[in-house]
Structure 1
Amino acid sequence: MSDSPPRPGAVVAVLAFAGIVVSLMQTLIIPIVPELPKYLDAPASDAAWAVTATLLAAAVATPVAGRLGDMAGKRRVLLACAVLLVAGSVVCALSDTLVPMIVGRALQGLSAAVIPLGISIMRDELPPERLAGATALMSASLGVGGALGLPAAALIADNLDWHALFWTSAALGSLALVLVLLLVPESKVRTGGRFDAIGGLGMAAGLICLLLAISKGADWGWGSGTTLGLLAAAVVVLLVWGWWELRTGEPLVDLRTTARRQVLFTNLASIAVGFSMFAMSLVLPQLLQMPAATGYGLGRSLLAAGLVMAPSGLVMMAFAPVSARVSRTRGPRVTLMIGSLIVSAGYGLNVVLMSEVWHLVLVSCVIGAGIGFTYGAMPALIMGAVPLRETAAANSLNTLMRSIGTSVASAVAGVLLARLTTDFGGFALPSEDGFKVVMALGAGAALLACALAAFLPTAPAAPSPATAPVTPERTADAPSVG
């Protein structure tokens, strides 16, 4: 790449595209999940690991990649994540059996840190007047890619061999990799130092135990020895990990910074927002595909369901700059509260409007607008309260909190929809009341996020250190903000 100054518009566009590509990867497999046992010649319980492996890999890689980005260069680590995405996609595209598919999906999951790394690069490189809108757009790309990915994946799966899904992912990942190489500069802001390998292993072990218990608890039984043992192990390991992080000189996660009120309550609100966002992704496609003879299902195909959900992604993108303007004038705390209330209102609307396709388009767009506000506010809150040297690590931890929220939403909604059923031709299908309960929980989670945001500092976040010119001297001694 040349040494010419970076073009802010190109940097924002490339990083946002990379974020969308990574989030597409998470929904790419949804259309073929019911067919995976046949495609891979494996039991359904084993084939489900193609989804679980991605979740676990992303949870472990995101905070680790964030810390490595602060230490060694955010663009360098982002490029490594893109390479892993391409490699994982190729492995999946060449797979016809279970083990290579799981390996490929795990490699894809290791790329999940692209979004928080992109936000951190923006903080380092963009002029102050562009930063708020750019980070809001980058943060929203997580939802945008998910919403646009479902119809695209369904269209490919309906018309081509299922391996084409992963060849498409590989092609998009390669394009993102080349664009980052050509147009995104390497930040001069680095901390150097020694990587906390013990902290990385401890966090990985604790998160794997926790997320395995959450994601597989319904299959294993919530009261089973395996589930309870994993939850107990998660508590013990994470407590020991926290003890180590507080005592080591160069921790993977600076827990003292994380305990600051603005960071702590933003992360807690992120869990609630992640839960609320994913509840929509679980309920609306099922309602659309449920047989019309049930009286509440709309009998649409997976492709039609994806097309209904797609506008919500465009709404998220459209509301990212609106979120940034509100954050500049009223502070990101207010933006987060407004977004949470909009999401809650969307679920309330869904309870009374769920009998027509346009009802669900409207509901998904309202919720998408709220998510656009909340996802735009969270990076601003985090970056307004952490030192420059910890930007990538702090943003990665915040992304992890959202992922934990989505995992909990999947587990809770799965239990509720499996228990609140109606008989349909001898088959137990989720009942209308079951869907309404999940919607009510989504609304409640959004209200909880709003309540948590009320505990954030009332004044707008202090200007980011990124507003000062970036020089090679701005490294580990950058002052803390907030």
Structure 2
Amino acid sequence: MTNAISRGRGLIATMIVIVVCSGVVQGYLTPLLPVVGDHVGIGGVGQNTLYLLSQVAFTVLTPLLSRWGDIWGHRRLLLIAVTMVTVGSLLIAARPTAGTLAVGMVLQAAVVGFFPLLAGILRSRAPEHGRIGLSVLVGTLLLSIGTGGFVAGTLSDEHALAGLWTAVPFCALAVAAAIALPTSATPGAGRFNLPAALLLTSGLGALMLVLTEGQSWGWASVRSLLTIAAALVLLLAWIRVEQRSSHPLVDLGLLRNPRLAAVSAHTFCIAFGAIGFLGANAVYLGTEPDGTGLRPGLGLGARDISLVSLAMVAVGFLGSTATPRLARIIGDRAVLAAGGCVGAAGFLGLCLFHSSVLQYVAGALVVGLSTGMFEAATRSLSVEAVDEAETALSVGINEMALSLGAAIGAAVIGALWSSHTTGRGGVTSAGYQWAWGTCAVVALAGAAIGLLFRTRSHIPTLETGDACTERTA
């Protein structure tokens, strides 16, 4: 049993159990928050505060769990992260209050460590299955996010709080899977840099705070400007501490690697629209049009919205699993450029055709395809860009680029909406089109960055298991 799990398909199958848990946890609470908020007495402001807490926790835990995994062992940190998520999910389900929701969602944010830590184990134990394995895991994650939201929403139709138990059985299975996984063959190295960790977490926390609250505060308000200044000072101080440290929390030299820099910049650009627009997607689908054209929308119910989201992630799954084969045919550089172009085409389609459900869903599905392509390609390439001992940290940097791109994208969309509203606060057609158009432009920028990616003259070790030099073309 242990030997079967240590390599090949058994290893990937065990990892799939953990990724399914990650997807369900990330997807099940979103459709429940309005109902749960009413039950526990949390209004719109309180729900937004919960979202802010989870986003800050996501951003902070990404580099910490990745670095701890490279130092103390990927399996050990994975088991800790899965346990944190399990405790958070059980706390929310068993006793839903404002306090337990806040603590539980912060604990659930440990899912950000799953992918970097799994990538470290996969590269160490089964490098020959690296690209295909990661693409399958990405596709599974996308499907699980959509399915988790749909299942939770369906359960809550019967009882308002029943959907809160959606994640608990998946977490229990994930704990068992994490115990069964082998340890990485690569020994850990280095020491944990506490001053750097405090500066980075504080700086990223301040940045996420202003991105989430800037629209309500006013981007030019004193509060926003002071928070931006604090974030910049803290992050600059972090960079200075890292450069002087013999044991950096994040090796900034990794960002001088042109391959990793290009992949991370591409991730940021595509996540800006593909992930950043998901909230806007639900708003447009659920808004009842006013009949005059001033406030457009499709007026769908919660279950129909979840079905559209499920269709998007299903297409994303197809894009993810097809990406390794496509890369072998046209090359990594072309795949990155194609992913950006596909995303831009989807957003342009939404700009031009969005008056009916079929028209809108067609454009949204194209965006979903781009999401699967970029997530599979960038996660594989971020693994291959560095030495094995830095795998989790490299993937963590890519995850940070994804989180920041999505957060900034959502903030920009919110700002565009706030400047194009009706008298009753609804978003006008121009507001939606400006948002979709901006996402298309940034996606094209991602495609251009993809063309700057320097391919190796030999297929990396994740596919062949052979040694590979750093010669570039």
TM class, shorter-length = over 0.9
For structure 1, the residue ranges without an aligned partner over 5 or more in a row are: 471-477
Secondary structure of the corresponding residue to residue 186 of structure 1: coil
- The 8 Å contact of residues 120 and 388 in structure 2, kept in 1 or not, is answered as no
Q: How many residues align?
A: 469
- The 8 Å contact of residues 85 and 110 in structure 2, kept in 1 or not, is answered as yes
Q: Give the Cα separation in 2 of the matches to 1:413 and 1:71.
A: 38
Q: Which residue of 2 aligns with 1:134?
A: 133
- The 8 Å contact of residues 70 and 392 in structure 1, kept in 2 or not, is answered as yes
String of CA shifts for 1:122-181, please: whole Å, max 9, x gaps.
2222252x221111222344543333333233222222232x333211221111221232
- Relative distance call for 1:408 and 1:12 in structure 2 (3 A) is same
Secondary structure of the corresponding residue to residue 30 of structure 1: coil
Superposition pairs for residues 23-172 of structure 1, below 5 Å? 23-128=23-128, 130-162=129-161, 164-172=162-170
Q: Which residue of 2 aligns with 1:473?
A: none
Q: Which runs of 4+ in 1 moved over 4 A?
A: 458-462, 465-470, 478-482
- Relative distance call for 1:396 and 1:320 in structure 2 (3 A) is same
Q: Give the Cα separation in 2 of the matches to 1:5 and 1:173.
A: 19
Q: Which residue of 2 aligns with 1:455?
A: 452
- The 8 Å contact of residues 381 and 461 in structure 1, kept in 2 or not, is answered as no
String of CA shifts for 1:210-238, please: whole Å, max 9, x gaps.
11111111222222222211211111111
CA shift, 1:102, in A, is 0.6
Q: 2:440 aligns with which of 434, 443, 446?
A: 443
The amino acid of 1:139's aligned partner reads V
CA shift, 1:241, in A, is 0.8
| Farther-moved stretch of structure 1 (370-379 vs 279-288) | 279-288
Q: Which residue of 2 aligns with 1:350?
A: 350
Q: 1:175 aligns with which of 153, 173, 179?
A: 173
- Relative distance call for 1:140 and 1:244 in structure 2 (3 A) is farther
Q: Give the Cα separation in 2 of the matches to 1:142 and 1:436.
A: 29
Q: 1:270 aligns with which of 263, 267, 272?
A: 267
The amino acid of 1:157's aligned partner reads S
- Relative distance call for 1:230 and 1:240 in structure 2 (3 A) is same
The percent of aligned pairs where both chains have the same amino acid is: 25
What is the TM-score with the length of structure 2 in the denominator?
0.92
String of CA shifts for 1:244-280, please: whole Å, max 9, x gaps.
1122112111111222111112111111111111244
Q: Give the Cα separation in 1 of the matches to 2:434 and 2:149.
A: 24
Q: Which residue of 2 aligns with 1:215?
A: 212
Q: Which residue of 1 aligns with 2:309?
A: 309
RMSD over aligned Cα, in angstroms?
Answer: 2.4
- Relative distance call for 1:460 and 1:404 in structure 2 (3 A) is farther
Q: Give the Cα separation in 1 of the matches to 2:141 and 2:241.
A: 32
- Relative distance call for 1:380 and 1:96 in structure 2 (3 A) is closer
- Relative distance call for 1:240 and 1:413 in structure 2 (3 A) is same
Q: Give the Cα separation in 1 of the matches to 2:22 and 2:328.
A: 28
String of CA shifts for 1:381-421, please: whole Å, max 9, x gaps.
22222111100011011111101111112211122223312
CA shift, 1:480, in A, is 8.0
The amino acid of 1:156's aligned partner reads L
Q: Which residue of 2 aligns with 1:378?
A: 378
The amino acid of 2:54's aligned partner reads T
CA shift, 1:117, in A, is 1.7
What is the TM-score with the length of structure 1 in the denominator?
0.91
Q: Which residue of 2 aligns with 1:287?
A: 284
For structure 2, the residue ranges without an aligned partner over 5 or more in a row are: none
- Relative distance call for 1:461 and 1:30 in structure 2 (3 A) is farther
CA shift, 1:331, in A, is 2.9
CA shift, 1:450, in A, is 0.8
Q: Give the Cα separation in 2 of the matches to 1:65 and 1:327.
A: 30
- The 8 Å contact of residues 192 and 247 in structure 2, kept in 1 or not, is answered as yes
